[in-house]
Amino acid sequence: MILSKSQYIRGLQCHKSLWLYKHNPDLRDASSSQAESLFNTGYQVGDLAKELFPNGVEIAFDSDNFDGMIQKTKELIANGTEVIYEAAFKENGIFAMADILVKNGDGWDIYEVKASTGAKEYHINDTAIQWHALSRAIKLNHAYVVHINNSYIRYGNLDIKELFAIEDITDIVLERQEEIPSNLTEMEEMLQGNIPDIDIGGHCSSPHGCDFWGHCWKHISNPSVFNLYRMRGSKKFELYYKGIVSYDDVIEKSISLNKTQRLQVQSYKDGNLTVDKPIIKEFLDTIEYPINFFDFETFQNAIPRFDNQRPYAQMPFQYSLHILHEDGTLEHKEFLGDENSDPRLSLIKQMLEDITPTGSIVAYNQSFEIGRIEDLANYAPLYEKELLALNERFVDLIVPFRKKGYYHPDFNGSFSIKAVLPAMFPNDDELDYKKLRSIQNGGDAMDTFANLHLLKDKSKLDDVKKDLLAYCRLDTLAMVRIWEKLREIVEEEK
């Protein structure tokens, strides 16, 4: 039996996952590939890392001809090639491709390239299984993980040597060699038998979210103990393994819960809305007109595109601002950066003009907006004072919900705006994120803008931008409507 490197890693995470992958792959969860189809592939971390070891020869990937890839690798090694990218081997029961293989004296060094900002435990397993395979065919000297150095800040041309950090993991990779043969034997025996009897657990999400989730978790009721507010994952599984899954089970077994969890379970049972007007009023009294309802969208790049940008920095590229004046007038302002240039400076300038000089700035979960404004102040010292002054005026709309001034059974333990909004305004098309077109959540917005400069079909650009604007606009309109509803509640039957 031959396993690929990724199948071995899958098997390490969960035997059942490997069994299903081999015997019943149709049960995998569907994945969305919208971003891939809309955009050209960008300059990938793996491609760039090859420049650390220039003039190598690449083995072209051919899913129909792995043997050809292996043969080509052998030929390159035999003819004295010193650097090989995507070198392919089938040895010791494993098919593996080494990202970069570099001749070093009488042997070779393996470089595994990862887009993360550090070497993770599963990267070690990943490299260890490669070592197991490759060491049958060639002499290996060292194993390294090449990862992104997140303290690098780009100025001018990319400095590849600074962008990447190289960690020597040879010792730990060698230690892991001992366990690999028995792991492989166990996997082989397991695959020849019936589906392993493995229950759900922490392994379903660590180190990777398993793609058989839909299949294995379908017996879990909704809601369940897994929805309980801020309960540790280990505690949730402890309850589940004792057969306590639904809220009925939680009540019947008198499980000890904190105040929010109790409210969550009880309100789900009796369907009652909980309103505490003094809490809401106390919150609303902190807000001053004109009220600036404000929300950023950000993107991240593993490889910085602009000067003064770190890998994976949260880069604000868009905001929406609804301004509610004391006379009831509602204004809307917005900013969307140009996808081909650094949006930060023009965003700062427009934001400082758009936000009113006095009055509150309301955000939902304000720490994100405050953090990004701090980043912008660091980026543009000329505007530091004005930017940081904005942070003094923030009010967080999540507070009355966290304090249980308003709790709807449908929140189900979540105070995110995506849970609060549909519960407060059911069947309201104006406030329904699902009625939006291609961009329906922050992740969509982030991925879309990060790749917008790579859009294949430029005639789609206007539509994509409209969708980005509509999404962000809804974020701040939602805040306006939530604020209005809270005010109505306080004013009702005063």
Please give the residue ranges that form the binding site for ligand SF4 (CB under 6 A): 14, 16-17, 20, 198, 200, 203-204, 210, 212-213, 216
- Reduced to 3 states (helix: H, G, I; strand: E, B; else coil), residue 12 is helix
Q: Which is nearer to ligand SF4, 131 or 212 (CB)?
A: 212
Q: Which is nearer to ligand SF4, 204 or 315 (CB)?
A: 204
CB of 240 to ligand SF4, least distance (A): 12
CB of 63 to ligand SF4, least distance (A): 24
Q: Which is nearer to ligand SF4, 7 or 448 (CB)?
A: 7
Which residue's structure tokens are 């070198």? 87
Rounded to the nearest 10 degrees, how much is the dihedral formed by the CA atoms of 186, 187, 192, 198?
A: 90
Radius of gyration of the chain from its Cα atoms, rounded to whole angstroms: 27
Q: Which is nearer to ligand SF4, 218 or 232 (CB)?
A: 218
Query: How far is the C-alpha of 348 from the C-alpha of 390, rounded, in Å?
Result: 12
Q: How remote is the C-alpha of 105 from its chain's centroid?
A: 41
CB of 243 to ligand SF4, least distance (A): 18
What are the phi and psi torsion angles at 202 (to 5°)? -60, -25
Q: Please give the structure tokens belonging to residue 463.
A: 């539509």
CB of 209 to ligand SF4, least distance (A): 9
Q: Which is nearer to ligand SF4, 213 or 425 (CB)?
A: 213
CB of 123 to ligand SF4, least distance (A): 19
The DSSP code sequence of 255-298 is ----HHHHHHHHHHHH---EE-HHHHHHHHTT--SSEEEEEEEE
For the chain, the distance separating the N- and C-terminal CA atoms, rounded to the nearest angstrom, is: 75
Q: Which is nearer to ligand SF4, 199 or 252 (CB)?
A: 199
CB–CB of 119/110 below 8 Å? no
Residues 6+ apart with CB under 8 A from 328: none
CB–CB of 296/372 below 8 Å? yes
CB–CB of 277/489 below 8 Å? yes
β-strands 361-363, 394-396 pairing: parallel
Residue 491 vs residues 280, 422, 467: alpha-carbon distances, Å: 11, 22, 36
CB of 212 to ligand SF4, least distance (A): 4
CB of 217 to ligand SF4, least distance (A): 6
CB of 184 to ligand SF4, least distance (A): 19
Q: Which is nearer to ligand SF4, 203 or 473 (CB)?
A: 203
Q: Which is nearer to ligand SF4, 53 or 217 (CB)?
A: 217
Query: How far is the C-alpha of 340 from the C-alpha of 328, rounded, in Å?
Result: 38
